[in-house]
Amino acid sequence: MRLILAEDSALLREGLVRLLTDEGHEILAAVGDAEQLLAAVAADPPDLIVVDVRMPPTHTDEGLRAALEIRRRWPAVGVLVLSQYVEKRYAAELLGGTASGVGYLLKDRVVQVGEFLDALDRVGAGGAAFDPEVVRQLLARTTRVDPLAALTPRERDVLEHMAQGCTNAHIAAKLHVSQSAVEKHVNAIFDKLGLAHVTGYSRRVLAVLRYLGT
């Protein structure tokens, strides 16, 4: 893939450049702030950007705001956001448009190279990838919502993996059940959440995460 990296930590930025280059990706630019990121994307739109939420000069949400602008101006460009902590508001804002070609990972996940590269590939292919801890906290936030409270523990397990961007086959492997059992749980989840008419991998993730964000 053709990538642009935006990370203000020079050490992490250079480490990502080396890792992704070794994996066969082409790094078009590796920048340290949001302004440089937007300029680099405008000059040569990549397949995907990897961007830190907090960047100079205020180290608050510059990276996230740049990512949202890139989603608006170049919707074909995938966005994988890295964050030191679970930023619920930022996650909900990023997910407010479409979950196609979007990912949100905690930085700790980067050191788990296999999981990071798997997430990168999924987002680059137009899918979704969300850190299990982000999903867990979003799920915890919604325990007061009656429709979610109606789910069984197994349906909650399946929903959590759906929100991470897993396919039914992937969920079946992780939970050690058959794919047909997962499909049954997914249909039950859609029925209980009023999402019976939503189809398509990315759309179902979006629907679930939109629901979780309410």
The one-letter amino acid at 209: L
> Are 162 and 137 members of one domain?
no
Cα(3)–Cα(30) distance, integer angstroms: 9
- Place 201 in a pLDDT band, splitting at 50, 70 and 90: very low
Domain CATH for 191: 1.10.10.10
Query: Do 48 and 115 belong together in one domain?
Result: yes
Handedness of CA 9, 18, 135, 102 (dihedral sign): positive
Same domain, 97 and 40: yes
Q: So what's the pLDDT on residue 166? A: 78
Tokens of 13: 């930025």
Reading the block at residue 114, the tokens are 């296999």
Q: How confident is the model at residue 55 (pLDDT cuts 50, 70, 90)?
A: confident
> Do residue 30 and residue 57 come from a single domain?
yes
Q: Flag whether 147 is in a domain.
A: no
Q: Please identify, among 79, 109, 142, the residue that sits at the C-terminal boundary of a domain.
A: 142
Q: Are 84 and 38 found together in one domain?
A: yes
pLDDT tier, 204 (very low <50, low <70, confident <90, very high otherwise): low
H/E run at residue 111? none
Residue, of 137 and 31, whose pLDDT is higher:
31
Average pLDDT on 19-41 reads 94
pLDDT at 198: 46
Q: What is the mean pLDDT of residues 47-67?
A: 87
**What is the C-alpha to C-alpha distance for residues 73 and 45, in angstroms, rounded to an integer?**
10
> What is residue 150's predicted lDDT score, i.e. its pLDDT?
76
Residues 108 and 14 in one domain: yes
pLDDT at 90: 64
Q: Are residues 42 and 87 in the same domain?
A: yes
Structure tokens at 191: 């029925």
Q: Which of 115, 142, 169 is the last residue of a domain?
A: 142
The answer to whether residues 12 and 92 belong to one domain is yes
The verdict on 134 and 42 lying in the same domain is yes
Highest mean pLDDT among 53-62, 100-109, 173-182: 173-182
Q: Please say if the pLDDT value at position 8 is more than 50.
A: yes
Q: Is the dihedral of CA 148, 151, 154, 159 positive or negative?
A: negative
- Between 28 and 67, the more confident residue is 28
Same domain, 12 and 109: yes
**Whole domain around residue 160: which residue ranges?**
153-213
Q: Quick one: pLDDT at residue 56?
A: 84
Looking at the 3D structure of the chain, how many domains does it have?
A: 2
**Domain co-membership, 39 together with 87:** yes
* Average pLDDT taken over every residue of the chain: 81
- DSSP of 122-156: HHHTT-EEE-HHHHHHHHHHTTTSHHHHTS-HHHH
Listed residue (93, 98, 32) closest to 65, CA to CA:
93
CA-to-CA distance for 157 and 186, rounded, in angstroms?
11
pLDDT of 87: 67
The answer, yes or no, to whether residue 206 has pLDDT greater than 90, is no
Query: Each residue of 153-174: pLDDT tens digit?
Result: 898 888 888 777 778 888 899 8
169 and 94 part of one domain: no
Q: What is the pLDDT of residues 80-131, one digit of tens each?
A: 988 877 666 666 666 655 667 888 888 877 778 888 898 899 899 888 887 8
C-alpha span between 198 and 12 (Å, rounded)? 39
Last residue of a domain, which of 79, 110, 142? Answer: 142
Q: Are strands 48-52 and 78-83 parallel, antiparallel or unpaired?
A: parallel
